[in-house]
Amino acid sequence: MRLYWKVVLINGVVLCLALLALVLGPMSVSRSTVASEVLVLAGGLAAILLTNALLLRSSLAPVDRVVRAMAYVDLTGPDGRLAAPPSGPGRSLVDGFNAMLDRLEEEQGTSNAKALAAQEAERHRIAQELHDEVGQHLTVVLLGLKQLEGQVPAAQAAEVAVLRESVRDGLDDVRRVARRLRPGVLEDLGLTSALAALTNDLGRHHPAEVRRVIAPGLPGLASDTELVVYRVAQEALTNAARHSRAKQVTLSLVRIGEGLVLEVADDGIGFDASTSGAGLRGMHERSRLVRGDLRITSRPGQGTTVRLAVPLAVGPS
């Protein structure tokens, strides 16, 4: 609204001045216009337009900047914010725009957090049911078949043995799926054990030497922060295994000041700073949920280091 009035005012003032100049000035326009008069009129018009343009320019410049920023803004950090002019309607426009970005980012953050939390809860429920229902029933069948095998004639016993192996495979599958869905160790035994399990898994399936440096006696974290640390470590280790061709991968978790620092470093092929992907984005997103600070440093041929620092005392947002 104020911008609108400012434009009206500028136009009004310029036109009034032109009118005054016309009334009070020495020039006149004859019924059949002569060339010299046209020249003066053209000059006057040009002067009006120029004054108007100059005055409007400074007022409307912020609008252009906001429009440009809207096209390119990236809601992932404070870099997208515009510098506000010192005063005037442009300032309130830019301030309003920046506030809107803040709000959007905030809302996106909460809805991401909600989505992630809902996803984790759902995984948790499914894994639990797999373990507690399907797994138990299969165990009953497995043990029952073993029992049966000793009681039937040899011909049938062989058949029962085949069934028993098949049930065992089913049980293994259930367990594997449940384990992928939910880091049961994290909940039951804590972060240290869960990270140790992750590095063991990697060591088992990958030729790289996996080293683990976990400081003893680390203070506990809020449970959602632990989950974030775990998921970031999981993604970083998976990436190292899948892409890095490293000879050595080191995971460390230490306390530095008022924070806990997770570091996953490999000596592999590294990657370009412009690389992006769902995994890398997911790490950033999760880290932001718990006010963590995530840095990924990598250069082609130089290996990769993923470093996540999370605050100790404060909980989630």
Partner 1 sequence: MTAPARLLLADDHALVRRGVRLILEQEPDLTVVAEAGDGAEAVEVARRTPLDLVVLDIAMPRMTGLQAAREIGRARTGSQPPKLLMLSMHDNEQYFFESLKVGACGYVLKSVADEDLVGACRAALRGEAFVYPGAMSALVRDYLGRLRRGERVPSTVLTEREDQVLKLIAEGSSSKEIARELTIAVKTVERHRANILAKLDMRDRTQLTRYAIRAGLIEP
Under the criterion CB under 8 A, does residue 214 sit at the interface with partner 1?
yes
Under the criterion CB under 5 A, does residue 88 sit at the interface with Mg ion?
no
Under the criterion CB under 5 A, does residue 279 sit at the interface with Mg ion?
yes
What are the residues facing 252 on neighbouring strands? 213, 263
Task: Please select the residue that binds partner 1; options are 20, 53, 75, 213, rule is CB under 8 A.
Answer: 213
* Beta pairing class for 248-256 and 293-298: unpaired
Under the criterion CB under 8 A, does residue 189 sit at the interface with partner 1?
yes
In the DSSP assignment, the letter for residue 179 is: H
| CB of 292 closer than 8 Å to CB of 259 | no
Q: Which of 5, 14, 92, 87 is nearest to 48 (CA)?
A: 14
Name the 3-class secondary structure at 211: strand
Q: CB-wise, 147 or 275, nearer to ligand ATP? A: 275
- The span from the CA of 296 to the CA of 273, in Å, is 9
Q: CB-wise, 145 or 240, nearer to ligand ATP? A: 240
Please give the structure tokens belonging to residue 31: 């019924």
Under the criterion CB under 8 A, does residue 163 sit at the interface with partner 1?
no
Binding partner at 316 among partner 1, Mg ion, ligand ATP, none, C-beta below 5 to 8 Å by kind: none
Under the criterion CB under 8 A, does residue 110 sit at the interface with partner 1?
no
Name the 3-class secondary structure at 11: helix
The 3-state DSSP composition of the chain as helix, strand, coil percent (nearest 5) reads 65, 10, 25
Q: CB-wise, 176 or 245, nearer to ligand ATP? A: 245
Task: Please select the residue that binds partner 1; options are 181, 185, 221, 306, rule is CB under 8 A.
Answer: 185
Q: CB-wise, 191 or 240, nearer to ligand ATP? A: 240
Contact footprint for ligand ATP (CB under 6 A): 239-240, 242-244, 266, 268-271, 275, 277-280, 304
Q: Which of residues 227-266 bind partner 1 (CB under 8 A)?
A: none
| CB of 273 closer than 8 Å to CB of 298 | yes
Under the criterion CB under 8 A, does residue 164 sit at the interface with partner 1?
yes
Find all residues with CB under 8 Å of 288, minimum gap 6, and list them.
109, 294
Binding partner at 243 among Mg ion, partner 1, ligand ATP, none, C-beta below 5 to 8 Å by kind: ligand ATP
Burial of 25 (0-12, 13-18, 19+ CB in 10 A): exposed
Under the criterion CB under 8 A, does residue 129 sit at the interface with partner 1?
no
| CB of 10 closer than 8 Å to CB of 52 | yes
Give the interface with Mg ion as residue ranges (CB under 5 A). Answer: 239, 279
Interacting residues toward partner 1 by CB under 8 A? 131-132, 135-137, 139-140, 142-147, 150, 164, 168, 171-172, 175-176, 178-179, 184-185, 188-189, 192-194, 196-197, 200, 203-205, 209, 211-214, 216-217
